[in-house]
Chain A
Amino acid sequence: MLTLTVPQKTIFHKISAGQKLLALCVISTALFQIKSLIVLACLTCAVVALYLSQGFSFAKFGARMLWPLWPFVLIIGIYHGITNDIGVGCEIILRMLITVAFANMVTMTTSLNDMIDVLLRLLRPLNWIGISTKPLALTIALFIRFIPSLIERGITMHAALRARSRGKSGWRIVVPLTLSVLNDADHVANALRARGGVWTNDEG
């Protein structure tokens, strides 16, 4: 499957996931308080420099992750161009791009496993009040395991549909796909139960 993390190792890989997330929270909150366009422009340069410091391909990857925001940049640009307060427009655009760029940097340099570890660690207090997080870890694993299978099944069903019908309405595969998913769930649940069930590790 495609991933959002960069293949090369950067200095940000060395910082722990928890610290990066904490830093991101602080930076994002702070950024929403900044109203000065000059400060935001300086920060933009800093972010660009930070990306480039890890190599050109890292910066290119970062730029590609920001790309889906272009319609909003365009709309805000036009809106404030018409209302003649382009300064405010630039401020909104820059603030949005910087906060997203910082968040993307964390995503690009933190493996999914580390993220899930942080998540499970944050939820650990639930264990103290009697809610086990063990089934959650299993659910996450099952979810990740099922994604490629379901995508593949969807593609197969779509190809079969196109082979026998001239219509393009892809939604017709939703019924058989959902039914197959419901049946899968029964099989996997039975298999889990046969192997001792979800709760074994806590109770045994």
Chain B
Amino acid sequence: MAGFREYKIGSRLFGLALGGSMTITLFFPSINIASVSSTDIALTKQLAIGHESGFNLDDPWMQGKNKPLSVSLKVDPLTNQPISGGMQVYVYEKGTSLPNGVDHPKILGEGIRELSVQDGRVKDAKKDVGAVFTLAKGMYQDKQYSYIDDLTATKGWTPAEVMRVAKDSDVSMAGKGKTFFIREGCWWCHTLLPEETQDWQVFGAPPMLGDFNGESPTAFGSDRKGPDLLHVGSRNSSKEWMMMHFFNPRLVQPHSIMPRFDYLWGKYDADGKKINYAEWRKEYNEYREGKRVSPPDVPSYASNSDIRGLIDFILSLK
């Protein structure tokens, strides 16, 4: 190439500058971040939310497929004896992608990965068979750690058996709900990150570095136009409030600018009746104009509706 010799020097310097900048800002931080161990919150999130909540080839239309179920187990599925205090398990039915910490125990952190592999036998979990996981505590080199226990491998509990003894009211579809959180763009207004400086008094404790291991996408949120939601489950655990708020935010918060999410109810309500949205809106407008004393009731949602998953997810954010 014709040109001044300065261009050769310049190109090499450019490479050096860009390479140097990327080393400092990409390579070094990744070593730093990768060395952090998962907290209990991270492990719970991984198990409850699953492999990926954004676009992925197993759920390209973002319908909440390929996600686990969180089950509050009351009886042992094999012996049918009640479990004292209940047990929180995470059911990965056949074909569901496994949590990131199970596929790649390395990201769990020191102690946790060894316990998960040796005691929890997570490497025995297979996607095409399915698995049931829980959080367990164990000792490694004289320190106590939480770890992921593959109950299918250690106790022989299969997803089918756990679901047989579980009631729908014990099942939380928080995993599916996070997919809808991403799809509906909730994170564009509601952050999932109380800031380290001022927010903690109003929105709760800011998350720690180890709270995000294995979570994808982290969905911190964009600019905040609504309250932070990372600890909303601790502030507001009312399913009824959530239902009204999602169906029409202005029912419970007249000055809210949040859009309506009534379409997430789907076609049928909990009793199998068709939901008449137009009728509801008409009655609501009459209420707003003062012709009705109270607003129309929000329909109960069907157990397989999108809104069920979303509300389960929001309530799981404790």
A, B from the same assembly: no
Partner-B contacts on A (CB < 8 A): none
Partner-A contacts on B (CB < 8 A): none
